[in-house]
Amino acid sequence: MTRAMKTLSSALILTFVLAAAAGAAPPEFQFGLAFNPALPQGGFHDVLGRTIWGGSFQFAFRPSGSPVLLGTSLGFGIYGFDSWQDWPGILDPDVLVDIRTTNAVLAWNVFLRLQPARGLIRPYLDVFAGLHLLTTDTRIGDGDDDGSGGFSVNNAADTAFACGAGAGVMLPVVRFVHRDGRPAAAINLDLGARYAFGGRADYLVKTDRHGVFDERTSRTDLLILNAGLSFCF
């Protein structure tokens, strides 16, 4: 984690230097929803060999007089899915059950964001720290289309510390102003990317056989792309 901590420390120092130069700003709230393809890096890529498709929600707040925003985000991505039917052979051998297995990554973090409080185009720099949760769950249904029956089983779950930095830009889609012309709120297109240095974790990957997994261990580094909408007011 030495390389990750050096990178995070450098990003933090840069953020606070730029924040000090930016000066104070009025209070601000940001709510965002985003589409987030994540590209596994290093050993994580060697194991998965595929893009993790997912999305995220984030919230950030700039206290009055602060040059930076403090926020949190929660993301979810799927790196494997399998679905098949089988005979349980317990109560009634003639009854088929639906079996669905999902391999997923849940990412939670807190972040500091340096961003101009005003302007038509608003670039930003983030530094963050949090957790990666890797989980595999199996849903066993009763064969009905309504999904009301059956039960779920967690096959495996593990967490890893994660930290990193990112950058992006917000471009206006819709702007709202007060009667006197002062900005009131805006809906922005939010484009960016961030690199997460993820710690080591144990996780399952699907094989060519239904319901059979390989257990792997690796770092969980991710290059995460971001395309979404942010509501700022």
Q: Which domains does the chain have, with CATH numbers?
A: 2-85+92-232 (2.40.160.20)
The average pLDDT across 42-60 equals 97
pLDDT band at 7 (very low <50, low <70, confident <90, very high): low
The chain-wide mean pLDDT, for the chain, equals 87
**CA 208 to CA 212: how far, in whole Å?**
8
> Mind listing the pLDDT tens digit for each residue in 82-132?
888 876 655 556 667 888 999 999 999 999 999 998 888 999 999 999 999
Q: CA nearest 188: which of 231, 226, 227, 124?
A: 231
Query: Can you give the pTM of this predicted structure?
Result: 0.83
Which amino acid is located at 111 in the chain? F
**How far apart are the C-alpha atoms of 229 and 107, rounded to whole Å?**
19
Both structure tokens of 153: 């089983």
Please list, in sequence order, all residues whose beta carbon lies within 8 angstroms of the beta carbon of residue 155, skipping any fewer than 6 positions away: 101, 136, 137, 138, 204, 213
